[in-house]
Chain A
Amino acid sequence: MRIPGSFIIEGLRNLFSKPATDKYPFEKIEPPDRYRGKIIFTLEKCIGCAMCAINCPTNAIKMIPTDETKGKKKPIFYYDYCIFCGVCKEVCPKKAIDYSKEYALASTSKDEMIIVEGDKKNVPDIPH
């Protein structure tokens, strides 16, 4: 009969070595380069073509005219509907959308869930 306990050497080795856990709130890790975090939108490059809003899989982008842009429509991003897929960055012809590496995005107020350049009045609460 075989004696149980084949994992005993590995168990002893792990008992005296450093644990494999990253202690998250005390040590933070940097995500890799292609990570898609919070959206960074550059207002000056945008031409109002609305390709991002047409192609977004969850319809999280809405085109509205704001005061600053004087009538032409610019996109606003709702990132409680966003799935961070990366399609808007791919289809934008002027490369006005980019992603940062910020991943701690949970918040308790709906106002922080909307990314818009300029003032925030006349902004509807949900995108559709």
Chain B
Amino acid sequence: MSNDIPEDEILIPLGPQHPALKEPINFMIRAEGEIVVDAQPRIGYVHRGIERLAMERTYLKTAYLVERVCGICSAAHQGTYCMTVEELLDMEIPPRGEYIRTLVWELERLHSHSLWLGVAGHEIGFDTLFMYTWRDRELVMDILEMLSGNRVNYGMNKIGGVRYDVTDEMKNKILKAMDLLEKRFKDYKKKLSEEPTVLGRLVNVGILKKSTAIKLSAVGPTLRASGVKADIRKDDPYGIYDEIPFEVISYDSCDLAARVFVRIDEFFESIKMIRWILNNLPDGPVYKRAPIRIPQGEAICRNEAPRGELMYYIKSDGKSNHPERVKIRTPTLANILSIGEMLKGSYLADVPIIVAGIDPCISCMDRVMVVHEDTGKAEIWTDEKFRDYSRKWYKKNLKWVVEERWKK
């Protein structure tokens, strides 16, 4: 992107540090007065090298590493990893284990959507909604702490099943909390659809047409708010999702208000699913012992995380006890291109709420890929090529580094 821009436009960096963003990501916005003309995303500020770390750890230890990719969708990451390894081993886990795994996934969807509603309220200046929804989210966190011992990064899954069981007393507490949550969120939905100050900020803002959404490969509630009924739980069922009765929610208005209401309605669907799971829990063990040696092969599994479609690829070479390659494709990476489209032509005041509208989880997202600008080819670099490049660069630029960067 060139640095000379026309005279009546200014370049505003919605930079790595900004009160609107919860995690570092950069958008270079060109604005003419209050209207945004163009926006370019730049990512890579939170790259932690998780895929490389996973290559040095055993399969059991990687389960705990992979859970810490994201704080909000941690059970989705760990569950998908365990599902992929179980597919490599070609084993079925006991049914009670499947039900409890799905219970934790749906509880996590509840907590993630109420967190997002609070953050959206904060971005439009409505701090009261932020405080109310986070107060109600504490009920879900208390339930998760009661089930697994921790409020985030639960550690519920392991290869071969689930680690903790659900007792009857916990079941009653969960059902009572679900009633209270349903009552409160129905109240919020009614009030939000009537309040003109809120609707004025959300209706007709951040439009993403249906064809553009499909072309730019949007996933999750962003796609479902543009009128496409796509959900991995119905299209490609895994686990027990072909037994639970539920519906896929989609709205047609393609704007931010549709994204808010899609998430609130998914909240109610998750509550119904949790009630069905708790009332129909089968008996039996929750865990089946898995062999330590994983046979050679590759496996892919997809899961509907709260933000969209999450995909794991694991390759094992059959000889050692750590994976040869783990590749993670998170939903936010698929939604980032849509932000650039949505920002064109909108007001400057709407930029934070549009960025927050896809529910960005930037720490999940950063993976490295090298693209040659002139030829347009993409390639993945191996370890040695990276080290080679860094050695050559430092040899060439050592003088500049010592004078400029280290002189203070």
A residues with a Cβ closer than 8 A to B are 1-7, 10-11, 20, 31-32, 34-36, 55-57, 83-87, 90
| B191–A57 CB distance below 8 A | no
- B390: which A residues are within 8 A, CB to CB? none
| A-B complex: 4 closest residue pairs judged by Cβ atoms | A34-B149, A57-B64, A57-B61, A6-B191
Q: B150 contacts the other chain (Cβ, under 8 Å)?
A: yes
- A90: which B residues are within 8 A, CB to CB? 163
Q: B8 contacts the other chain (Cβ, under 8 Å)?
A: no
With A57-B64, A86-B163 as contacts: A31 and B145 at CB distance below 8 Å: yes
| B146–A32 CB distance below 8 A | yes
Q: B135 contacts the other chain (Cβ, under 8 Å)?
A: yes
B64 contacts which of A4, A31, A35, A83 (Cβ < 8 Å)?
A83
| A6–B149 CB distance below 8 A | no
Among B194-202, B247-255, B271-279, B331-339, the stretch in contact with A: B194-202
Given A2-B194, A57-B57, A87-B64, 20 extra CB contacts under 8 A = A2-B195, A7-B191, A7-B195, A10-B132, A10-B187, A10-B191, A11-B128, A20-B135, A31-B145, A32-B145, A34-B148, A34-B149, A36-B150, A55-B60, A55-B61, A56-B61, A57-B65, A83-B153, A85-B64, A86-B149
A-B contact pairs, 5 of them (CB 8 A): A6-B191, A6-B195, A7-B195, A57-B65, A87-B64
Compute how far the CA of A1 lies from the CA of B195 in the bound complex, rounded to whole angstroms: 11
- B150: which A residues are within 8 A, CB to CB? 35-36, 84
- A4: which B residues are within 8 A, CB to CB? 195-197
- A56: which B residues are within 8 A, CB to CB? 61
- B148: which A residues are within 8 A, CB to CB? 34
Q: B164 contacts the other chain (Cβ, under 8 Å)?
A: yes
Compute how far the CA of A32 lies from the CA of B150 in the bound complex, rounded to whole angstroms: 9
Write the B337-357 contact mask toward A (1 if CB under 8 angstroms, else 0). 000000000000000000000
> How many Å from the CB of B257 to the closest CB on chain A?
15
Q: B79 contacts the other chain (Cβ, under 8 Å)?
A: no
Compute how far the CA of A6 lies from the CA of B126 in the bound complex, rounded to whole angstroms: 13
A1 contacts which of B60, B135, B196 (Cβ < 8 Å)?
B196
> How many Å from the CB of A79 to the closest CB on chain B?
15
Compute how far the CA of A84 lies from the CA of B147 in the bound complex, rounded to whole angstroms: 15
- A3: which B residues are within 8 A, CB to CB? 196
Within residues 89 to 109 of chain B, which ones have a CB less than 8 A from any CB in chain A? none
> How many Å from the CB of B76 to the closest CB on chain A?
18
| B145–A85 CB distance below 8 A | no
A86 contacts which of B57, B61, B155, B197 (Cβ < 8 Å)?
B155
Within residues 145 to 166 of chain B, which ones have a CB less than 8 A from any CB in chain A? 145-150, 153, 155, 163-164
Compute how far the CA of A20 lies from the CA of B147 in the bound complex, rounded to whole angstroms: 23
| B149–A32 CB distance below 8 A | yes
Residue of A nearest to B62 (CB): A57
- B163: which A residues are within 8 A, CB to CB? 86, 90
A7 contacts which of B60, B65, B128 (Cβ < 8 Å)?
B128
- B64: which A residues are within 8 A, CB to CB? 57, 83, 85, 87
A35 contacts which of B65, B128, B145, B187 (Cβ < 8 Å)?
B145
Which of B149, B187, B191, B197 has the most C-beta atoms of chain A within 10 angstroms of its own C-beta? B149
> How many Å from the CB of A13 to the closest CB on chain B?
12
> How many Å from the CB of A74 to the closest CB on chain B?
22
| B196–A34 CB distance below 8 A | no
